[in-house]
Amino acid sequence: MNLCAAILLFYMFQLIHGQPDYLGFISIDCGIQVNSTYQDSISNMIYVSDYGFITPGENRGISSDYVKPSLVKRYLNLRFFPHGARNCYTLRSLVMGNKYLVRAAFYYGNYDGLGKPPVFDLYMGTSYWHEVSFSDAGAFNWMDIIVVAPDDYLQVCLVNKGMGNPFISGLDLRPLKNTLYPEVNATQSLVLVNSNRFHMGPTDGSVIRYPSDSHDRIWTTYNAIPNSTEISSTSVIQNNLRDVYDVPSSVMQNAATVNSSRIDFSWSPSDPSVNISSKYFFIFYFAELQNVRSNAVRQFDIIINNKTWNKQPYTPTFQVTDYFSGILHGMENYSVSLVATKNATLPPILNAMEMYLVKPITMVATDPGDG
């Protein structure tokens, strides 16, 4: 056995017994055989069974009608919970007070033959995370939460609300540097719902995640900007010194632009829980990808719901990531406009964006024996 194989086996053993791998990652494929592991061929991440993370529940494969060649392995099986109002996964060996990204993934795939996806609640410990629901039996759902660990473990709990048995396909934990996402603290988390983390790359549905993003955030393509075209660069896009989001270069190497003086689009949370007391946190990312001629000017204002976010006309920096962020109260729809100033000779651009639901969180650790 060579050294690399021995190291891989060691980390697989650690993961099987509920310990993070050498990156601090925990990657669980819920519903696969007890103590089994596999290495993803694209990311090289090691996925393990949920043995050691939870006791209750039953494993089941999805219906053969929903098994497609393009379906990733972790969605072929799931763990469902026909008993108990609350069932919890415990993610151990963490660092109290550190930030973590936790992702829960769901694919119903008519595993129970009922053709009716359940509706249930997701909790981070004792704090409500979000409702889990599906548009149809073949719909995917995944949610991220960025949270500060109140102890050396976190618990992800599925709560039955009388609308079908809760289930889960996958559960991930990724450590974050404590300087990232300063909006997150001991009493406030950020929840990503409906995959609202976008890059402006090719419209082929391409996804950027680990290893391109060292934090394994999932960036999907946004193609809802009317009459937009793509500009791109193969050069490395640097993060500026004040950066607190660490967006990878691969995300910033593409941008959407238009053949007019403004980019206009609207975004809806598509979230039944949103009301006037809800708060959304928006981040818009910019980087100039073209070597603009000395007599050309790219300059624009960033306007969200008729409010200008920039204090002075904004010009993206060449091959350096910059951002504008802010919190808005919950609404059914948000209008976004990037409007060229009268001095501009080039249209606005947009490279990437994130939209989070701001959630209060109770800094109370649950009993790791629960679940």
Domain presence at residue 210? yes
Whether residues 77 and 215 share a domain: the answer is no
Of 318 and 13, which is predicted with more confidence? 318
Same domain, 263 and 118: no
Q: Is 231 a domain residue?
A: yes
What is the model's pLDDT at position 365?
54
- Establish if 189 belongs to a structural domain: no
Shared-domain flag, residues 219 and 341:
yes
Average pLDDT score over residue span 145-150: 98
Q: Which residue type does 99 have?
A: K
Average of per-residue pLDDT across 260-284: 87
pLDDT over 90 at 71, yes or no: yes
Structural domain contains residue 188: no
Q: Provide the pLDDT for residue 7.
A: 45
CATH number at residue 40: 2.60.120.430
Q: Are residues 348 and 250 in the same domain?
A: yes
Q: Residue 59: name the closest of 165, 174, 172 by CA.
A: 165
Q: Are residues 141 and 214 in the same domain?
A: no
pLDDT score recorded for residue 232: 96
Based on the domain organization, do 211 and 89 belong to the same domain?
no
55 in the same domain as 121:
yes
In a domain, 12, yes or no: yes
For the CA atoms of the chain, what is the radius of gyration? 22
Last residue of a domain, one of 178, 213, 241: 178
Residue 367, domain member (yes or no):
no
Question: Which residues lie below 8 Å from residue 193, measured CB to CB, with a gap of 6+?
Answer: 130, 143, 269, 271, 357
**What does the angle CA 320 – CA 251 – CA 102 come to, to the nearest 5 degrees?**
115
Mean pLDDT of 259-287: 89
Given a cut of 70, whether residue 2 has pLDDT beyond it is: no
Are 229 and 301 contained in the same domain? Answer: yes
- As for how many domains the chain has, the answer is 2
Residues 224 and 329 both lie in one domain:
yes
Last residue of a domain, one of 178, 211, 237: 178
Give me the DSSP letters along 217-252: --EEE---STTEEEEE--SPPEEPTT-SS---HHHH
Residue 138 shares a structural domain with residue 210:
no
Q: In terms of domains, do 234 and 152 share one?
A: no
Kindly tell me if the per-residue pLDDT of 272 is higher than 90.
no
* Two tokens, residue 125: 């410990």
Give residue 253's domain range: 197-358
CATH number at residue 281: 2.60.120
Res. 347: pLDDT tops 50: yes
- Tell me the average pLDDT across 268-275: 75
Please state, in angstroms and rounded to a whole number, the distance separating the CA atoms of residues 167 and 155: 15
Q: Please determine, for residue 166, whether its predicted confidence score (pLDDT) is greater than 80.
A: yes
What's the N-to-C CA distance of the chain in angstroms?
38
* Residue 282, token pair as written in the block: 């928006």
Q: Is the peptide bond before 211 cis (omega within 30 degrees of 0)?
A: yes
Q: What is the mean pLDDT of residues 239-254?
A: 95
Rounded Cα distance, 242 and 255, in Å: 21
Does 368 map to a domain?
no
Task: Give the mean pLDDT of 106-130.
Answer: 97
- 178 has pLDDT over 60: yes
- Among 148, 178, 208, the domain boundary falls at 178
Considering the domain architecture, whether residues 173 and 54 belong to the same structural domain is answered as yes
Full-model pTM: 0.92
**Predicted confidence (pLDDT) per residue in 25-66, tens digit:** 999 999 999 999 999 888 889 999 999 999 999 999 999 999
The pLDDT of residue 331: 85
pLDDT, averaged across the chain: 92
Residue 66 φ/ψ region, left for φ over 0, alpha for ψ in the -120 to 50 degree band, beta for the rest: alpha
d(CA 31, CA 12): 17
94 located within any domain: yes
> Are residues 111 and 60 in contact, defined by beta-carbon separation less than 8 angstroms?
yes
